[in-house]
Amino acid sequence: MVKSLTSHRPLLAVALKVSAVFLFTVMAALIKAQSDHFPPGEMVFFRSLFAIPVIVIWLVARGELAQGFVVRKPMGHFWRGVLGTTAMGLTFTGLGLIPLPEATAISYATPIITLVLAAIMLGESIRAIRIAAVSIGLLGVLIMIWPRLDGETMQAAATLGALCILGATVARAFVQIHIRQLVQVDHPAAIVFYFSMTATILSGLTVFWGWVLPTWDQAAILILAGLIGGVAQILVTSSYRFGQASMLAPYDYTSMLFAIVIGYVWFSELPTLVMLAGAALVIAGNIVVIWREHQLGLERGKVRAVTDPKA
């Protein structure tokens, strides 16, 4: 069984969550910086493989290594791995084609899409408030990607990038549906561990489609991305031990601030007003969902704790 929450320490919870969001954004920037040199499958391999030792050390420190090996729904973990690896590959592809702030903003659609899938696949009810939230969020997504789809301004690479990030949000929403089912029977440690293992194996198979031998400097960056991703996963998981999901969820949106700063300093990227307007609508829709879940007392902490925002 998962250890119960023994203390409510909101400041620590927020600090852990914001730190995790910052590290995930840095990881995305490292991947983006290497996207011109390596295929997405190879970068997913490094990201997944070098997160494993960090996760194992964390599980040992918490005395949960044994739980990390035990699974009751192996096929559930397999499909979570397939979907998560797909989401990561699409994300890494998109990062190389569109600005970091834009990729970050489109990814905010995941909770909205998850809500729709939960109604379809899990039979969860969607009442008027949630329908309004979904509508607002999807409108925001449409506003963000519309400039990429407008025939007069279409740029093939940027259009593909936006569609890849959107595809990743759909895949990640399916991941959350699977995790909602897995946490009912398996320990979160097992879900985190086996995802990293599955992603490493699946992405490793892409070697047959052609990998590029990295230089020592490039290898160091890819390894660093994996280590940072592992640490970020631990921080976000730990944050939910000290604060409720509904309280911490809005801090996901600090990633936009980090993405704008890093995008400008590192890649000379600036967000457009259209993108910011669309992102604002998506965030507004998500906040309505968060508020409604809090009102209904629906705790998603266990799901959020094992869901990688950048997987």
Specify the pLDDT at position 295. 66
- Domains identified in the chain, total number: 1
Give 44-61 pLDDT, tens digit per residue. Answer: 999 999 999 999 999 998
Measure the CA–CA gap between 298 and 270, rounded to whole angstroms. 37
For 23, 55, 100, 101, 129, the CA distances from 48, given in Å and listed in that order, are 15, 11, 21, 23, 38
In a domain, 251, yes or no: yes
Specify the pLDDT at position 242. 82
What's the whole-model pTM score? 0.87
Higher pLDDT, 73 or 171: 171
In a domain, 175, yes or no: yes
Confidence of residue 3 (pLDDT cuts 50, 70, 90): very low
In a domain, 310, yes or no: no
User: In this structure, are residues 170 and 75 in contact, taking their beta carbons and an 8 Å threshold?
Assistant: no
Average pLDDT over residues 220-246: 88
Specify the pLDDT at position 69. 85
Residue span of the structural domain in which 174 resides = 12-305
Average pLDDT over residues 70-76: 86
Specify the pLDDT at position 28. 96
Q: Which of 95-109, 111-125, 286-300 has the lowest mean pLDDT?
A: 286-300
Which one, of 109, 101, 97, lies nearest residue 156 by Cα? Answer: 97
Average pLDDT over residues 32-41: 95
Q: Which of 6-20, 142-156, 234-248 has the lowest mean pLDDT?
A: 142-156
Residue 305 has pLDDT above 70, yes or no: no
Residue 123 has pLDDT above 80, yes or no: no
Summary mean pLDDT of the chain:
86
Residue 298 has pLDDT above 80, yes or no: no
Specify the pLDDT at position 150. 64
Measure the CA–CA gap between 65 and 272, rounded to whole angstroms. 46
Residues 6+ positions from 113 with CB-CB distance below 8 Å: 169, 170, 173
In a domain, 108, yes or no: yes
Give 138-195 pLDDT, tens digit per residue. Answer: 898 888 888 877 655 457 888 899 999 999 999 998 988 888 788 888 888 888 889 9
In a domain, 227, yes or no: yes
- Cα-Cα-Cα-Cα torsion 89, 93, 96, 99, nearest 10 degrees, comes to -90
Angle at 237 between CA 287 and CA 180, to 5 degrees: 65
In a domain, 111, yes or no: yes
Residues 6+ positions from 206 with CB-CB distance below 8 Å: 39, 41, 42, 44, 45
In a domain, 230, yes or no: yes
Average pLDDT over residues 187-207: 91
Strand ranges (E), 56-198? none
Confidence of residue 67 (pLDDT cuts 50, 70, 90): confident
Confidence of residue 207 (pLDDT cuts 50, 70, 90): very high
In a domain, 5, yes or no: no
Percentage of residues in the chain with pLDDT exceeding 90?
Answer: 46
User: In this structure, are residues 157 and 95 in contact, taking their beta carbons and an 8 Å threshold?
Assistant: no
